[in-house]
Amino acid sequence: MKRSIVLVVLMAVILGTASLATAEPPFRIAWSHYTGWEPWQLASEKGILKKWSDKFGITIDLVLINDYMESINLYTGGRFDGCSMTNMDALTIPGVGGVDSTALIVGDFSNGNDGIVMKNGSKVSDLKGREVKLVELSVSHYLLARALSIEQMSERDLTLVNTSDSDIAAIFASDPNGVAVTWNPPLMQCRNVKGANLVFDSSGIPGEIIDLMVVRTNVSDKLKKALVGAWFETMKLMSSQGKEGKEAIQYMAKFAGGTEAEFRAQLRTTRMFYDAAEAAKFAEGPELQKTMDYVRNFCFDHGLFGQGAKSKDHVGIQFPDKSVMGDKNNVKLRFDSTYMRMATENKL
């Protein structure tokens, strides 16, 4: 009898040890404050992310990083399995850094959610000779370059000052001659400063600044399915017209540090893809390839591909149809609509 009890206990210990040995470690996902990414916090708060991770037998640790660029650097350095970022930053930071990454979710594109705000001026040409605060070499820099090119100006006409997105609104408010290029929520904060004028925003270049959830290409399919499933369930919740939808907006607004009215105003300048089919269609469309060609030209011209890059083809970009723009032997950014299509067809 004693031997059988000992055997049962021993087997339990062995099986328990084996299950611990085979259990997957938690997947880590980084995100930062931005109107189009606040739904990740909502997904966590409402238990939606846990529901989908439980479905696939995994654990997802969602981590808020207050500094946007730092979140991408941490992802590139191997600290996270996925991270929210724009199309340009996905190309120039993990892409150039050699991290093979997949744009898993096309969440939205900026349609006025990024902008140039200034005091003592009312148009882009008034930027001449001014000191401009921005996150240098980010999408804000891209937006500025596009605005200047439209006005037949160049960056030589002004002075750029690299500024963290977490500090830019406060610095703009305290500067009597301030100029800032940023995204929401800090863009809204800058616009609310007395004497501030919005002189250009991303509605002038629709579809070019795209907000993504990017993951390591070789990460588990379980994580990819869980993230996509959770995201589009959250999209359904926040876009609903009833009490739950209103409460979702109120929660995200409060978490982002603003009012419901401010958050709704930011949503109006964000082209959210609430429906997975719409997101997949955008990823598969020809306009995305044109946009990425604009983006890679900017990146190469500004040295974002590094000193060793001889042309804009330095980093390969793969699209859902498997076509590759750039070096086919160095594909580091992949737009993949597979999982968004699965969400559309309820096959996750």
Residues 285-301 pLDDT 10s = 999 999 999 999 999 99
pLDDT value of position 4? 40
Kindly compute the dihedral angle of the four CA atoms of residues 37, 39, 43, 46, in this order, to the nearest 10 degrees: 150
Tell me the C-alpha distance between 293 and 282, whole Å. Answer: 16
Q: Is the pLDDT of residue 62 over 70?
A: yes
Cα–Cα separations (whole angstroms), residue 28 to 61, 87, 126: 5, 20, 44
* More confident: 68 or 79: 79
Q: What percent of the chain lies above the pLDDT cut of 70?
A: 93
pTM over 0.95: no
The CATH code that applies to domain 114-204 is 3.40.190.10
Residues 98-120 have a mean pLDDT of 97
Residues 66-80 have a mean pLDDT of 96
Q: Is the pLDDT of residue 58 over 90?
A: yes
pLDDT value of position 184? 84
pLDDT value of position 231? 99
CATH fold of 26-107+209-344: D-Maltodextrin-Binding Protein; domain 2 (3.40.190)
Residues 208-214 have a mean pLDDT of 97
Q: Is the pLDDT of residue 3 over 60?
A: no
pLDDT value of position 6? 41
pLDDT band at 280 (very low <50, low <70, confident <90, very high): very high
Tell me the C-alpha distance between 124 and 118, whole Å. Answer: 9
- What angle (nearest 5°) sits at the alpha carbon of residue 341, between those of residues 340 and 343? 65
Token pair 């588990």: residue: 220
Q: In the sheet that 196-201 helps form, which strands lie side by side, from edge to edge?
A: 159-162, 131-134, 179-183, 114-119, 196-201
Q: What percent of the chain lies above the pLDDT cut of 90?
A: 87
Looking at the DSSP bridge assignments, the partners of residue 132 are 160
Residues 12-43 pLDDT 10s = 444 444 444 446 899 999 999 989 999 999 99
Query: Token digits for 6?
Result: 């000992």
Kindly compute the dihedral angle of the four CA atoms of residues 215, 218, 221, 224, in this order, to the nearest 10 degrees: 0
Residues of the chain with CATH 3.40.190.10: 26-107+209-344, 114-204
Q: Is the pLDDT of residue 1 over 50?
A: no
Residues 76-97 pLDDT 10s = 999 999 999 999 999 999 999 9
Instruction: Detail the DSSP E strand segments found in the chain.
Output: 27-31, 60-64, 82-86, 101-110, 114-119, 131-134, 159-162, 179-183, 196-201, 210-216, 270-272, 316-318, 324-325, 331-335
pLDDT value of position 183? 87
* More confident: 113 or 62: 62
